[in-house]
Amino acid sequence: MYVAIYQSKWGYNPTTRLGKLFIFSCRGMAIYMCEVNIDLIDVSFWLRHFINIVRKKVQLNIATRKISLHELFKIKLGIKTFKIVLKEKMNQLGYYWFK
């Protein structure tokens, strides 16, 4: 299953709705749509890239809100660094992408 979103170079396309999610069985169909309608641009990659960045920023924001005063005190004393505390919180929340 491949989800594609299209934009038009010319601003309007009569055969496809711009900004609508199209669900195809394979990527070949999405490529075919771009070949048939030469003004279409597939912006799915950039949308996925943007969603991944926003998802990570939101997860990081949630983890920073979960840091307690006791942990901030340890950071202030130099017992732990902020990165170590943040990594522990991310692992507790199940966000394993943070290194």
Q: In this predicted model, what pLDDT tens digit does every residue of 27-47 receive, in sequence order? A: 898 888 888 888 888 888 898
Q: Are residues 10 and 35 in the same domain?
A: yes
In-domain check, residue 83: yes
In-domain check, residue 20: yes
In-domain check, residue 16: yes
Flag whether pLDDT at 5 surpasses 70.
yes
Structure tokens at 99: 């290194």
C-alpha dihedral (54, 60, 63, 64), degrees to nearest 10: -120
| pLDDT at residue 12, rounded to an integer | 81
In-domain check, residue 48: no
Contact indicator for 40, 8 with CB cutoff of 8 Å: yes
Give me the number of domains the chain comprises. 2
In-domain check, residue 70: yes
In this prediction, residues 66-80 reach a mean pLDDT of 93
Domain that holds residue 62: 54-93
Lowest-confidence pick of 62-66, 78-82, 94-98: 94-98
Q: Are residues 33 and 63 in the same domain?
A: no
pTM for this prediction: 0.69
Flag whether pLDDT at 97 surpasses 80.
no
Mean pLDDT of the residues in the chain:
88
Q: Are residues 38 and 6 in the same domain?
A: yes
Flag whether pLDDT at 13 surpasses 70.
yes
